Structure 1
Amino acid sequence: MTTTLTPSTHRATFAIGDEQTAKRVADLLTENFFEGEAAIAAFEGPAGCWDITLHFAQAPDENAIRELVTAAAGEEVARSISFETVEARDWVKATLDELIPVHAGRFVVHGRHDRAKVPPNKAGIEIEAALAFGTGHHGTTRGCLLLLDEVLKANRPRRVLDLGTGTGVLAIAAAKALRARILASDIDPLSLRLAAENARLNGVGELVETVRASGFSAPQFELRAPFDLVLANILANPLRQMATPMSRHLASGAHVILSGLLTPQTTAVIASYRARGLVLKRHIRIEGWSSLLLVRAG
């Protein structure tokens, strides 16, 4: 393998106690940096706080960043920002060394360097580590694949939606198993490009249709509904908010696989979907994260 030494970068990290403030801060920071100048990510942590990380190729103006965060979240949060330099490293090699093939039922998620390790009786899904979420190594993605495998043992859904597709791993898995068209949506253009590339790499490019959409807003949802199977590996709050529109796009007896949930969040999510006529069939817990299989009554 050719060594690719990534130059040293600069990173700023801090935590915020609620989702609304975290999004406000992330939006403000995004608006104040030119494209390519900074990479900004916000993730919900196990304790309910939101962790925000900024990566810079060049050393940032620390005072300017603190002023922006103060304007959106207050001085206390701004004072808590930690700045550090990330030393040069061969990140590609380091990442690939850590990403061993992941087995989930009939599916094996692997990188290019592990193609030969996929058993002939398994469906290999080649996904390289990338910016978009979902290499198969996260507990939520593995949980979804295990539940998808369970659904496909007794059902053959014809209309399938992967909501919030990320790298496209779930859409690719469904397309490989069913050899049917899969609709894959995401709000992020980068994720959609990557999902389409991964689908082509895995030989199902013609089966995976990607669409940029927030929730169920795109016209493609109306054209392809009602869905027999929906896979949604997102976050707890968006999943709760989408319970009503999702239920309106489901066929009778449809299966829904939900993930991206910390285990303490599952009760509220299950209740939201139960109120729309979906009942819990299976609950998988992996590494502190939960994946749910729900069935629409009828």
Structure 2
Amino acid sequence: MTTYTALTTLSGEAQARALAEAMERLDPEPTGVGVFEIEDGSGLWEVGGYFEAPPDEAALALLAVATGARPFAVSELPETDWVAKVRRDLAPVEAGRFFVHGSHDADRVPEGRIALLIEAAMAFGTGHHGTTLGCLRALNRLADGPAPRAIADIGCGTALLAMAAARVWRVPVVASDIDPVAVEVARANVAANGLQGRVTCVEASGTSDSQIAAAAPYDLVFANILMAPLVALAPDLAQVVAPGGRVILSGLLVEQGAPAAEAYRAQGFEDEAREDIGEWTTLTMRRRA
């Protein structure tokens, strides 16, 4: 089936969400509308819609003028089996002892590796991105050390990091995300990897959920999110991480590593390790005893 996209940008989250809501009332109506902040410091937001029939370009032009958006760019996408394409393109990821793969590569797991299954149709947080890969490598460096008593994965996405930790150590792991769809994906991945009962997935913002609070203090917390929420989370993580416990922080551009680390130093954490992969950085920091 041929599909169509209509994309634009504009300033301000409120205006972007209002435009997205207005797009949902178009005829023909879109099959989906997305709103994303462009993470380049410009303050711009991208709004896009997918259509199964050619969108009404006159109506889109009126919406753009009414909301102060740039003119929509409308494109026709060729018919593509996207899951099959992702399966072809989504090569396994190796990070030390970890081997992250789709079901189509289940027969390629090297002997002695910790295999983690992430399906191609659930491809956000697969380990291919520099942030997730950096977190896996940081976990690999810690894996030969003492077992943590409890672990949390804040902003878990597919729950890849939570599952990796659960495979290394038989300790409770709580995986949380603010997005209910991500939480459902995480639960499906936990089940597919046979980790029910060892990884608990909850919908929560930060550390506010009762299940997250009940499992504290943590000896290890992953927070692979974005710069602003990561810095805002620093005081809360200082409250739930045990003395001597670690945080593995990512979702950070290389130039954001220093200010993010400073925010955590102010909350009693010390630098332990840093790895830059392309334009992204991952920090490992330890709370002072």
Using structure 1 for the length normalisation, give the TM-score: 0.87
What per-residue deviation string (whole Å, max 9, x for no partner) do you get for residues 11-44 of structure 1?
A: 2333457xxx2x3344324544279831314154
Specify the alignment match of 1:184 in structure 2. Answer: 175
**3-state SS of the aligned residue for 2:80?**
coil
1:113 is matched with which residue?
A: 104
Where 1:260 maps in the other structure, the secondary structure is strand
- In structure 2, what residue type is equivalent to 1:230? V
Q: Answer yes or no: is the 8 Å Cα contact 1:15–1:49 preserved in 2.
A: no
Q: Is the 8 A contact 1:159 1:229 kept in 2?
A: yes
Q: Which secondary structure does the structure 1 equivalent of 2:202 belong to?
A: strand
**1:60 aligned to which of 55, 73, 91:** 55
Distance 2:274 2:221 in 1: 16
Matched, 1:139 2:130: yes
Report SS of the residue matched to 1:204.
coil
Within 5 Å, give how 1:263-282 maps onto structure 2: 263-282=254-273
Q: Match for residue 3 of structure 1?
A: none
Q: In the alignment, what sits opposite 2:283? A: 292
Of residues 63-72 and 127-136 in structure 1, the stretch that sits farther from structure 2 once superposed is 63-72
Give the AA of the match of 1:60: P
Q: How does 1:92-241 map to 2 (within 5 A)?
A: 92-130=83-121, 133-241=124-232
Contact 1:26 1:41 in 2 (8 A): yes
**What CA RMSD, in Å, does the superposition of the two structures yield over aligned residues?**
2.3
Q: Return 25-34 or 230-239, whichever deviates more.
A: 25-34
**1:64 Cα deviation after fit:** 4.3
Q: Percent identity at matched positions? A: 38
Cα shift at 1:179: 2.2
Contact 1:140 1:290 in 2 (8 A): yes
Distance 1:189 1:119, change over 3 A: same
In 1, are the aligned partners of 2:268 and 2:288 still within 8 Å (CA)? yes
SS at match of 1:146: helix
- Structure 1 unaligned segments of length 5 or more: list them: 1-6
Report what 1:78 is aligned to.
70
1:194 Cα shift?
0.7
CA–CA separation in structure 1 for the residues paired with 2:30 and 2:175? 26
Partner-residue secondary structure (3-state), 1:158: coil
Counterpart residue number, 2:249: 258
Pair 1:24-2:14 in alignment: yes
Contact 1:105/1:146 (CA < 8 Å) preserved in 2? Answer: yes
Secondary structure, aligned partner of 2:148: coil
Q: Report deviation, 1:275.
A: 0.6
1:153 offset after TM fit, Å? 1.8
2:83·2:121 contact (CA, 8 Å) conserved in 1? no
CA distance, structure 2, for counterparts of residue 197 and residue 36 of structure 1: 27
Q: Does the CA-based 8 Å contact 1:26-1:40 persist in structure 2?
A: no
- Alpha-carbon deviations, 1:195-224, whole Å to 9, x = none? 011011111022111111111221112211
Aligned residues: 284
Equivalent position of 2:8 in the other structure: 14
Q: 1:165, 1:184 within 8 Å by CA — same for their partners in 2? A: yes
Q: CA deviation at 1:67?
A: 4.9
The separation in 2 between residues aligned to 1:266 and 1:134, in whole angstroms, is 20
